[in-house]
Amino acid sequence: MRPMLFSHNGSVTAEGKFDWADAIIDAAITGSYTAVGMLAGLSTAGAQLGAREYSAVAIAFATSFFGWMATKRGLVGGKAAGSS
């Protein structure tokens, strides 16, 4: 069993390819954490959870999920394209 790694850097498989499963699991964890935190905040504020609130939670999840995927793939963060 391999150790659990949770970093901003993407990992590679034994064949040297990008490890999509690891990246998707990490992105789902961070997206879920964001969504649960937002639901807790809305509930604490006394908001009645309707379609508008659930849409906001879904947008927060998607933003966190795809932002994390972009970070894992190296599309954001680090050096800018073309810089040395």
Question: How many Å apart are CA 24 and CA 4, to the nearest integer?
Answer: 14
Structure tokens at 45: 């504020």
d(CA 38, CA 54): 10
pTM of the model: 0.73
| Within a domain: 59 | yes
- Residue-wise pLDDT for 34-79, tens only, equals 999 999 999 999 989 899 999 999 999 999 999 999 888 888 765 4
Asked if the structure places residue 8 within a domain, the reply is no
In 1-84, beta strands by DSSP E: none
DSSP 12: B
pLDDT confidence bin for 20, thresholds 50/70/90: confident
Residue 58: CB partners within 8 Å, gap ≥ 6?
Answer: 35
Please indicate, yes or no, if residue 1 is contained in any of the structural domains: no
Owning domain of residue 41:
20-73
* 2: in domain: no
